[in-house]
Amino acid sequence: MESITFNWHNGADEARPSPTTRKKLDEWKQAIKDAEFVYHLDFLGDVIHGLQKEYDSILVASRKLDGSG
């Protein structure tokens, strides 16, 4: 089972990978030499796709609340 964590604090510029996730991402970059990297890219693609869907859904809901959607 894989997991990644990003941290964001009010007032901070942007979300950043946790130290554990940063280490994992660096390890995955090194895994390009192995066939295993395809698994990691698929996992990251799934995460990005899922988060984009959540983002879009929240954005649409917020527009309905403020009357602009």
Per-position pLDDT tens, the chain of length 69: 889 999 998 776 899 999 999 999 999 888 877 777 788 889 999 999 999 999 999 999 998 887 765
pLDDT reported for residue 69: 59
pTM tops 0.85: no
Tell me the domain boundaries of the chain.
6-66
User: If you count DSSP H runs as helices and E runs as strands, how many of each does the chain have, helices first?
Assistant: 2, 2
